[in-house]
Structure 1
Amino acid sequence: MKVIFAGTPEFAATALAAIHKAGFDIPLVLTQPDRPAGRGMHLHASAVKQYAQEHNIPVAQPISLRLNGKYPDVAAEAHDLLHNTEHDVMVVAAYGLILPMSVLEIPRLGCLNIHGSLLPRWRGAAPIHRAIEAGDTETGITIMQMEEGLDTGAMLLKQSISINSTETTGSLHDKLAAMGGEMIVQALHQLEQGPLTATVQPEQGTTYAAKISKEEAALDFHQPAEVLARKIRAFNPFPGTHAQYGNSTIKIWAAQTVTTNKTGAAPGQILTASAQEGILVASGEGVLKLTELQKPGGKRLPAAEFLQGFPLTPDMQFNRT
């Protein structure tokens, strides 16, 4: 069976590698155009493009697939390429471009999507972040038959995984990426034998995982400590949470809630800041212990090491930036 693959980040590259290693013929890969990144803002290829080039798989990087959009000539060229590339099915994982019906209808067996949640919960752009932020105890992968709606297609395969109390988006991403690779290979093998069983998504339980904005990364210590701890885990490694201390913006990479008799302080007030007691900060409800921090221009450090190079003063305030 011939599989066109569309995806961009590392999550998608893991799936592409799994399909390739399983022996499927991949005549074409679609991925986002190269983007500027790093201090020099040089153009960098996506993780999917890098894998494809390393394994001599043809790559196309259209900026749009919408024939009636801003770049109709580019979209028309991409449509011609898809029509002229022999394939049976398209697999899509975190591609970053909307696939219009004119594209979804091209593959003989349609388009399959690898989605990082247990649909219909967390449709949308940031399902891993939002699951941790909301305090979900489980998530998973759904292999879905794509349609025009936002992650609304019929479910073909589904597998769950627990979210532990120390899980970050980074660690959960890697687990789900590996799971997604295994599941899409399973789905493709089954598809070779005949149609997969499709289950229509229920509307009950639908939630939307909005794209993460940098503005959300500022911690509001008026929120409960438990909410802050989840957010810090959810935003690790991207975009990272932060708070203002004097004139410095401190990134906070890890924290946990603690029980203490130090009560009555204003939200954001530093209660203790020592290697022995740790960095304890009052919140709107409860106390947060900061365990990994980063000063401007510095490295991520455990709290005790951070304090050696950036002393914090008890009774001072962390504020939103």
Structure 2
Amino acid sequence: MRHDRRIVYAGTPEFAVPALEALIAAGQAPVAVYTQPDRPAGRGRKLTPSPVKKVALAAGIPVLQPLSLKSAEAQAELGRLAPDVLIVAAYGLILPASVLAIPRSGGINLHASLLPRWRGAAPIQRAIQAGDSETGVCLMQMEAGLDTGPVYACESLPLGSDATAASVHDRLASLGARLLVERLGEILDGTLKPRPQPAEGVVYARKIEKAEAWIDWTQAAKVIDRQVRAFIPWPVAQTRWGEQILRIHRARPMPAAVGSEPAVPGTVIGIHADGVDVMAGSGIVRLQVVQLPGRRPVSAADWARSTAVVGHRLGGAD
């Protein structure tokens, strides 16, 4: 790939870091990086730069942080950079068609799903929650629609029974970085042509809401297990334990024993060395790592040994 391309990179969270680092390592450092404005973080609510900003500054790359790219002033600023291409990974701001028209080769989006499945804000979590057997990353030509552009290339990743949003996030970020560096030259040379997304199979990954963290124990154990794994590290699945909120960091589904007495969903029915069994709508959920308010996550077995839990019922929501 030619090394005289003028690349502008736009990204904000940790997911966008490996691709930026890969471009720098490949001798394709962007001429500028766009990222969202610094946000308050931590107990002191101190203004904190995004992960992408930290990497860019460490590499000596100019950083731009407009509140929006819709204004004529912001677009003129991008135009003065004379970009050949705009590469976007989890930037978090809407890019109007007028912005995508500025780079000579348009915009390329690194998206964390196998398009057209899971367009939108939370593709990793929704893939796990739905029980998909695989997910992946795609390089997509950007257009005005929500993740509707034609696709240059994709790489798939199997989703095992222990996959969490955190673990899949990290693997897809690395996979996407490699795919970007491998295929960028072909994209910019015009030898790799994008293919339109098929009309069938379109699914939208709506944004995760904190209220979704509440566990409904009448659901099947496998559904609750997927909810727990999809919501790591945020918002973390939770349930009522008396007057307290019990957060579930790790669990696994178990079949109900043949001939066992049925119990009301949410009832704690047993304690084992590797967890605490809770009756679900069908099957059993074995809690393995839990957390009470103001405390660190602990093994569910340790939690159960510190209080009487068998026969008590978990559940309830605001």
Return the offset for 1:81: 1.1
Matches within 5 A, 1:194-233: 194-233=190-229
Whole-angstrom distance in 2 between the partners of 1:27 and 1:78: 16
| CA contact 2:274–2:288 (8 Å) conserved in 1 | no
Match of 2:130 among 131, 134, 137: 134
Match of 2:293 among 296, 299, 302: 296
Whole-angstrom distance in 2 between the partners of 1:27 and 1:251: 44
| CA contact 2:148–2:197 (8 Å) conserved in 1 | yes
Aligned CA RMSD, in angstroms, stands at 1.3
| CA contact 2:83–2:102 (8 Å) conserved in 1 | no
Whole-angstrom distance in 2 between the partners of 1:161 and 1:275: 33
Map of 1:265 onto structure 2 = 263
Match of 2:284 among 283, 287, 294: 287
Matches within 5 A, 1:167-206: 167-206=163-202
Give the letter for the 2:45 counterpart.
M
Whole-angstrom distance in 2 between the partners of 1:270 and 1:40: 39
Map of 1:40 onto structure 2 = 44
Q: Given the alignment of the two structures, is residue 15 of structure 1 paired with residue 16 of structure 2, yes or no?
A: no
Q: Given the alignment of the two structures, is residue 159 of structure 1 paired with residue 163 of structure 2, yes or no?
A: no
Size of the aligned set, in residue pairs, is 311
Could you tell me which runs of 5 or more consecutive residues in structure 1 were left unpaired when the two chains were aligned.
67-74
| CA contact 1:275–1:307 (8 Å) conserved in 2 | no
| CA contact 1:140–1:158 (8 Å) conserved in 2 | yes
Whole-angstrom distance in 1 between the partners of 2:285 and 2:227: 12
Q: Given the alignment of the two structures, is residue 4 of structure 1 paired with residue 8 of structure 2, yes or no?
A: yes
| CA contact 2:133–2:158 (8 Å) conserved in 1 | yes
| CA contact 2:142–2:149 (8 Å) conserved in 1 | yes
TM-score (norm 2): 0.95
Whole-angstrom distance in 2 between the partners of 1:263 and 1:200: 54
Q: Given the alignment of the two structures, is residue 106 of structure 1 paired with residue 111 of structure 2, yes or no?
A: no
Map of 1:71 onto structure 2 = none
Return the offset for 1:193: 3.1
| CA contact 1:2–1:26 (8 Å) conserved in 2 | yes
Report Cα offsets for 1:120-155 as digits up to 9, x if no partner: 000000000000000000011110000000000000
Secondary structure at 2:179's aligned position in 1?
A: helix
Q: Given the alignment of the two structures, is residue 93 of structure 1 paired with residue 89 of structure 2, yes or no?
A: yes
Return the offset for 1:264: 1.3
Return the offset for 1:204: 0.3
Return the offset for 1:306: 2.8
Map of 2:314 onto structure 1 = 318
TM-score (norm 1): 0.94
Whole-angstrom distance in 1 between the partners of 2:208 and 2:135: 18
Return the offset for 1:312: 4.2
Map of 2:28 onto structure 1 = 24
Match of 1:120 among 116, 127, 137: 116
Give the letter for the 1:305 counterpart.
D
Return the offset for 1:105: 0.3
- Alpha-carbon distance change, 316 to 89 in structure 1, aligned in 2, over 3 angstroms: same
Return the offset for 1:80: 1.4
Return the offset for 1:205: 0.5
Map of 1:144 onto structure 2 = 140
| CA contact 1:254–1:292 (8 Å) conserved in 2 | yes
Secondary structure at 1:313's aligned position in 2?
A: coil
Whole-angstrom distance in 2 between the partners of 1:226 and 1:25: 44
Return the offset for 1:278: 3.0
Secondary structure at 1:318's aligned position in 2?
A: coil
Report Cα offsets for 1:200-230 as digits up to 9, x if no partner: 0011010000000000011110111100000
Could you tell me which runs of 5 or more consecutive residues in structure 2 were left unpaired when the two chains were aligned.
none
Give the letter for the 1:13 counterpart.
V
Return the offset for 1:277: 7.0
- Alpha-carbon distance change, 285 to 275 in structure 1, aligned in 2, over 3 angstroms: closer
Return the offset for 1:192: 4.2
